[in-house]
Amino acid sequence: MTQPPDIQAAGPDPSSDKLDAAVFKVAGVVVLGAIMSILDITVVTVALPTFQIEFGTSYAIAAWTMTGYTLALATVIPLTGWAADRFGTKRLYMAALTFFVLGSLLCSTAWNIESLIAFRVIQGIGGGMLMPLGMTIMTHAAGPQRVGRVMAVLGVPMLLGPIGGPILGGWLIDAFSWHWIFLINLPIGIVALVLAFLIFPADKPEPSESFDFLGMLLASPGLALFLYGVSSIPEAGTVTARKVLIPAAIGLVLLVAFVFHALRTKHPLIDLHLFRNKALTASVLTMVLFAIAFFGAGLLLPSYLQQVRGESALAAGLLIAPQGFGAMLTMPIAGRFVDKYGPGKIVMVGIVLLAIGTAFFTQLEADTSYLVMCLALLVMGLGMGCTMMPIMTAAIQTLTHQQVARGSTLMNIINQTAGSIGTATMSVVLTNLLKDQPLAGPAIVANSDPAVAQQLGPDAIATGLDQAAQAFSDTYIVALVLIVLTLVPAFFLPRTKPATAQDADAKVLVH
Give which of 406, 408, 428, 411 is closest to 475, Cα–Cα: 428
Highest mean pLDDT among 47-51, 53-57, 454-458, 507-511: 53-57
How many angstroms separate the CA atoms of 314 and 170, rounded?
A: 5
CA separation for the pair 75, 180 (Å, rounded): 27
Please compute the mean of the pLDDT values over residues 174-201 and round it to a whole number. Answer: 86
List the one residue out of 380, 289, 389 whose CA is nearest residue 339: 389
Residue 352 to residue 335: CA distance in whole angstroms: 18
Whether residue 10 has pLDDT greater than 50: no
pLDDT digits (tens, 9 = 90+) for 216-232: 788 878 888 887 887 77
Specify whether the CB–CB gap between 116 and 93 falls below 8 A. no
Q: pLDDT confidence of 7, banded at 50, 70, 90? A: very low
CB atoms near residue 438 (< 10 Å): 11
Any idea which of 3-7, 40-44, 96-100, 358-362 has the lowest mean pLDDT?
3-7
Euclidean distance between CA atoms 95 and 6, whole angstroms = 25
Instruction: Measure the CA–CA gap between 37 and 136, rounded to whole angstroms.
Output: 16
> Quick check: 19 and 146 in contact, CB under 8 A?
yes
What does 48-68 look like in DSSP terms, one character per residue?
HHHHHHHHT--HHHHTHHHHH
Q: Residue 115: CB partners within 8 Å, gap ≥ 6?
A: none
pLDDT band at 500 (very low <50, low <70, confident <90, very high): very low
Residue 377 has a pLDDT of 93
DSSP codes, 177-246:
-TTHHHHTHHHHHHHHHHHHHHHSPP------S---HHHHHHHHHHHHHHHHHHHTHHHHSSTTSHHHHH
Q: Return the top range by mean pLDDT from 61-70, 268-277, 370-379, 501-510.
A: 370-379
pLDDT band of residue 59 (cuts 50, 70, 90) is low
Q: Which of the four pLDDT bands, split at 50, 70 and 90, describes residue 158? A: low
The CA-atom distances, in angstroms, between 325 and each of 111, 160, 347, 405, 471 are 39, 9, 18, 31, 28
Taken as a whole, the chain contains a residue count of 511
Which of 99-103, 260-264, 310-314, 506-510 shows the lowest mean pLDDT across its residues?
506-510
Residue-level pLDDT at 504:
43
Helix, strand, coil percentages (3-state) for the chain, rounded to 5, are 80, 0, 20
What is the SS3 assignment for 364?
coil
Helices 113-142 and 388-396 cross at an angle (nearest 10°) of 60
CA-CA distances (angstroms) from residue 412 to 174, 291, 323, 347?
A: 33, 11, 23, 18
Q: Hey, which of 27-31, 99-103, 174-178, 404-408 has the most confident mean pLDDT?
A: 99-103
Q: What is the pLDDT of residues 295-321, one digit of tens each?
A: 788 778 877 887 788 887 677 778 888
Q: Render pLDDT for 382-439 as a digit per residue (tens, 0 to 9).
A: 998 888 878 877 777 777 766 776 777 777 778 777 877 887 788 778 878 887 777 7
Helix axes 21-55, 64-87, angle to 10 degrees: 150
pLDDT range class, residue 486, cuts 50, 70, 90 = very high
Looking at residue 353, what is its pLDDT?
A: 94
CA distance 159 to 383: 11
Whether 507 has a pLDDT exceeding 50, the answer reads no
Residue-by-residue DSSP string for 436-454 = TSTTHHHHHHHTT-HHHHH
Instruction: State the alpha helices, DSSP H only, in 299-403.
Output: 300-303, 313-341, 344-361, 370-385, 388-396
113's CB contacts (< 8 A; 6+ apart) are: 51, 55, 57, 61, 62, 64, 65
Q: Kindly report the pTM of this predicted structure.
A: 0.75
CA distance 95 to 15: 29
Cα angle 165, 40, 185 (rounded to 5 degrees) comes to: 110
Instruction: Read off the pLDDT band of 17 (50, 70, 90).
Output: low
pLDDT band at 56 (very low <50, low <70, confident <90, very high): confident
**What is residue 435's predicted lDDT score, i.e. its pLDDT?**
79
pLDDT score for 20: 67
Reported confidence tier of residue 4, pLDDT bands at 50, 70, 90: very low
